[in-house]
Amino acid sequence: MYQDFENIYGNLIEYIKQLGAEREIFKTKLIRTLILVGILVVVLIAIFLLYKDSYVEKMQELEIILAIVGVAFAIAFIVSIFHVGKSAQKYNKIFKTVILPNLLFNIDKNLTYTPKNGLSKEVYDQSGLAINYNQYSSEDYISGYIADNALLEMSEINAEEIQTNEKGQPVVVNSFNGILAVATLKKSVNNNIKIVKNSFWKGKREANIRIASIQFEKYFDMYADNKVNAMQIFTTDVIEEIIGFVQEMKIHLEISIIDNKFYIAFKTGQMYEGGITQNTKELLSKYYVVTYFMISLIKRINKAIEDAEL
């Protein structure tokens, strides 16, 4: 049984207070670092102005002052890594080892979280949603058997392509950064279905299914080997839930169903991170909505398959 977000947030409040304490430590260290940098810049510039007539002949004063400021900020960067960075690391550790596992547990008690693991490149390729890339990384692995004994696996993935610009220099182009989830449906639908971003340009596919929803057509194109079968799965309720999520969260998604595998890719950017400078409640709310929606959608898809007796 699922709880609403406010109840879940209330259950996590003691842990969130720990995050708040770490955030205050981080802010204090950051302010101290910035003050020290300011003092260092002032002192160095004062020394330069005091002795510039003795040592400066040809170099421009402005160039030297800018160099001094640059050195000061370089020192600040090094200090921040060892001083301020430790607080940020501790904050993120609490978030990933305490807050996030508890959030997921409250959404569904069968979900487990392994921060350093991720979905394989092969799963991404099998989804049919992958686009050009030659570099791949994945982390924040979440898995568990949810409703109807469906195995859900998901993680953040980052797919990039190394291209060459006009000058022959390598350029990194991000192909996809977000959440990929895969669930095993209760039975095979004997169909390949794909819902992708709406585009004026249509690729050469088996079929282009028109949905009787202006809002759906605004966001998506739908393709399938078997049109009737696809319409039985993506009922009005399912379509409305997808549209509602996209409109509320402003997060684009793409879906594919290949036999008994359901894939969904959310173009969220980085996910399941602590974000020490961000509002904790807003972050957790976003993570909750994305995860809850995913589970709810899988339940609806399984129900549609069952009702259609596919």
114 lies in the same domain as 80? no
Confidence at residue 103, expressed as pLDDT on a 0 to 100 scale? 93
Domain range enclosing 41? 5-86
Question: Is 103 inside any structural domain?
Answer: no
> Beta-carbon neighbour count of residue 235 at 10 Å?
16
Q: Which carries the bigger pLDDT value, residue 309 or residue 121?
A: 121
Token pair in block for residue 167 = 């000058």
Whole-number mean pLDDT of the chain? 84
The pTM for the full model equals 0.81
Question: Is 19 inside any structural domain?
Answer: yes
pLDDT exceeds 50 at position 114: yes
Question: Is 100 inside any structural domain?
Answer: no
End-to-end CA distance of the chain: 27
175 lies in the same domain as 287? yes
The enclosing H or E element of 255 equals: strand 253-258
Block residue for tokens 């799965």: 233
Q: Please give the distance of CA 176 from its chain centroid, rounded to a whole number.
A: 10
174 lies in the same domain as 304? yes
198 lies in the same domain as 273? yes
Q: How confident is the model at residue 83 (pLDDT cuts 50, 70, 90)?
A: low
Residues 188, 182 contacting (CB under 8 angstroms): no
Question: Is 194 inside any structural domain?
Answer: yes
Identify the CA nearest to 300 among candidates 262, 267, 265, 266.
262
- Spatial distance between the Cα atoms of 129 and 178, rounded to a whole number of angstroms: 12
150 lies in the same domain as 60? no
| Total count of domains within the chain | 2
- Spatial distance between the Cα atoms of 206 and 296, rounded to a whole number of angstroms: 29
124 lies in the same domain as 73? no
- Spatial distance between the Cα atoms of 149 and 135, rounded to a whole number of angstroms: 33
**Which of the 8 DSSP states describes residue 209?**
B
Q: Which carries the bigger pLDDT value, residue 294 or residue 310?
A: 294
293 lies in the same domain as 198? yes
Token pair in block for residue 255 = 């879906």
Task: Write the pLDDT tens digit of every residue in 245-258.
Answer: 999 999 999 999 99
260 lies in the same domain as 126? yes
Task: Write the pLDDT tens digit of every residue in 144-193.
Answer: 998 777 899 999 999 999 988 888 888 899 999 999 999 999 889 989 99
76 lies in the same domain as 118? no
Sign of CA dihedral 67, 69, 73, 75: positive
Task: Write the pLDDT tens digit of every residue in 37-77.
Answer: 777 777 766 766 665 555 555 455 556 666 666 776 676 66
Burial code (b: 16+ CB inside 10 Å, e: under 16) for 67-88 equals ebeeebeeebeebbeeebeebb
pLDDT exceeds 90 at position 139: yes
Q: What is the mean pLDDT of residues 124-143?
A: 94
Q: What is the mean pLDDT of residues 128-137?
A: 92
Largest Cα–Cα distance in the chain? 91
Task: Write the pLDDT tens digit of every residue in 186-232.
Answer: 889 989 999 998 875 445 454 478 888 888 888 999 999 888 899 99
